[in-house]
Amino acid sequence: MNSNRRAPAPSIRIASLCKVIIAAVFVASAGISYVYLKNQLKLSGDEQIKLERDLADLHKENERTQLQIDSLTSLAALKKKLAQNSFGLVPITTDQVVRLNQDEPNGDDLRVVSNRPFRK
């Protein structure tokens, strides 16, 4: 027999190695995707909680503003302001009144005008 013959080299099974590498890449990408999606879910939840708090604050502020509007526009409050003359209202004098329907129409008098279209 030939003494120069070497022992057979261990063969690498390429197909098995590719399967293992593909499986490892798949598991790694699935793990990274899971962590990324859980992180996004946590961030979205935090943002939703913040927005719900802001909405509740706006509802409270809206209620306070509505109560303030109701108190300022109530009949009692308006009468009180009128009694204090805080509106700056003064009585109307007769020289400031313009009468539209007078018995004797002159050329310079104001007359009633209608904006309705002409009907046939």
Sorted by where each begins, the domain ranges of the chain are: 14-89
Measured between alpha carbons, how far is 106 from 116 in angstroms, rounded to an integer?
24
Q: pLDDT per residue over 29-53, tens digit each?
A: 999 999 999 999 999 999 999 999 9
pTM of the complete model: 0.49
For residue 116, report the phi and psi dihedrals to the nearest 5 degrees.
-75, 145
pLDDT value, residue 36: 98
